[in-house]
């Protein structure tokens, strides 16, 4: 379907498509304005399946499954989903629009400037995602049954930082949950090779602890500016995750003290029984590290930092705007 008919269809249900902001192999994301009475306008992100995939049952199931899963995930550290619909045979999701950058762009900006990310802000960003995961992992359905959500795709592309400093987890597209899982573990590897847990890399059945190992990887990448497990060959990345010796990170960056070193190594335990047993435990240790004996970083401090990083007050060099979703 071309852009013009698409705009017309969405106008009929009071959404004004502003511009396409992301495009992938199977989907598209648009910035849109939700219109209402009294000149009401709300900026949202609209994520939809490409027309050629909308008729394929497997893609429909996965897309609908993601929307159902995140419908009631309402937390400051998770990008919210407002609506699932279908127009002209294409399914679409209406989602929270986040004005900011994803963590991959945040990392790349620091590499461009040859500038390390402050240690306290790196720990703060990861602590906020641990907060979101704590909520998601503990979420129950309306009958009170645990949903047993596992995100399975923790990585820089799926973590957003708003210009105000809010940190948000997005894209539950390959998450699994009780009675809601369309790709069988044991047959496929869900997730990106350089951000897998050892159990994902070995095709084992996962639980919530599988999200904590890649969260540890993200923390080390923020601290070092690189993913130590990443290799040119995807299979080698998986082998690195399973067998590569874990370094002493304080030797790689002296500002990493023993307290933070202990947190990182616990998150990167390959034996999940020795790893953090919950996101709440990891969040608590990070917050004790940040605030145990001093006044630590805040959302406002991160917001000030990212605005300075991107020269956001300079109209001639304003950074691009990204949504809380990817196709």
Structure tokens at 314: 């300079």
Whether the per-residue pLDDT at 62 is higher than 90: the answer is no
pLDDT tens figures, 73-82: 999 999 999 9
Q: DSSP secondary-structure letter at 292?
A: S
* Structural domains of the chain, with CATH: 3-96 (3.30.200.20), 100-309 (1.10.510.10)
Query: What is the rounded CA–CA span in Å between residue 156 and residue 154?
Result: 7
Considering the chain, what percentage of its residues have pLDDT values greater than 70? Answer: 88
Whether the per-residue pLDDT at 110 is higher than 70: the answer is yes
226 to each of 130, 212, 239, 247, how far by Cα in Å?
20, 18, 17, 14
Whether the per-residue pLDDT at 2 is higher than 60: the answer is no
Q: Does the annotation count 285 as an active-site position? A: no
Q: Which of 148, 153, 171, 211 is catalytic?
A: 153
**pLDDT class for 169, splitting at 50, 70, 90?**
very high
pLDDT for 326: 53
Whether the per-residue pLDDT at 88 is higher than 70: the answer is yes
Cβ pair 267, 219 in contact under 8 A: yes
Least confident of 11-20, 218-227, 290-299: 11-20
Whether the per-residue pLDDT at 9 is higher than 70: the answer is no
Cα 300–chain centre separation: 20
Whether the per-residue pLDDT at 315 is higher than 50: the answer is no
283 to each of 102, 207, 308, how far by Cα in Å?
21, 18, 27
pLDDT tens figures, 182-239: 556 666 667 789 999 999 999 898 999 999 999 999 999 999 999 999 999 999 999 9
pLDDT for 318: 46
Q: What is the pTM of this model?
A: 0.90
Q: What is the DSSP string of 178-213?
A: TTB--S-BTTB--S-GGG--HHHHTTPPP-GGGGHH
How large is the average pLDDT for residues 49-62?
Answer: 80
Considering the chain, what percentage of its residues have pLDDT values greater than 90? Answer: 65
């Amino acid at each position: 379907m071309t852009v013009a008919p698409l705009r017309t269809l969405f106008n009929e249900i009071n959404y004004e498509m502003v511009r396409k902001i992301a495009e992938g192999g199977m989907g598209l994301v648009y910035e849109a304005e939700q219109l209402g009475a009294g000149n009401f306008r709300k900026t949202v992100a609209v994520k939809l399946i490409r027309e050629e995939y909308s008729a394929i049952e497997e893609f429909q199931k996965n897309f609908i499954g993601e929307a159902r899963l995140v419908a009631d995930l309402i937390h400051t550290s998770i990008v919210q989903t407002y609506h699932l619909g279908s127009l002209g045979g294409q399914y679409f999701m209406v989602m929270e629009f986040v004005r900011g950058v994803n963590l991959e762009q945040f990392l790349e900006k620091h590499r461009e400037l040859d500038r390390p990310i402050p240690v306290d802000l790196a720990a703060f960003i990861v602590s906020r995602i641990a907060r979101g995961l704590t909520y998601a992992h503990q979420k129950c359905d309306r009958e009170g049954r645990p949903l047993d959500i596992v995100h399975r795709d923790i990585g820089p592309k799926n973590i957003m930082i708003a210009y105000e400093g809010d940190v948000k987890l997005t894209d539950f597209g390959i998450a699994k949950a009780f009675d809601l899982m369309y790709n069988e573990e044991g047959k496929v590897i869900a997730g990106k090779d350089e951000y897998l847990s050892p159990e994902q890399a070995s095709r084992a059945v996962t639980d919530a602890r599988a999200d904590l190992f890649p969260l540890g990887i993200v923390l080390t990448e923020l601290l070092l500016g690189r993913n130590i497990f990443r290799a040119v060959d995807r299979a080698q990345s998986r082998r690195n995750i399973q067998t590569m010796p874990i370094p002493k990170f304080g030797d790689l960056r002296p500002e990493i003290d023993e307290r933070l070193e202990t947190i990182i190594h616990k998150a990167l335990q390959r034996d999940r029984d020795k790893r953090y047993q919950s996101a709440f435990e990891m969040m608590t240790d990070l917050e004790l590290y940040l605030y145990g004996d001093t006044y630590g970083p805040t959302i406002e401090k991160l917001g000030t930092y990212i605005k300075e990083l991107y020269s956001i007050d300079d109209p001639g060099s304003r950074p691009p705007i990204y949504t809380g979703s990817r196709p």
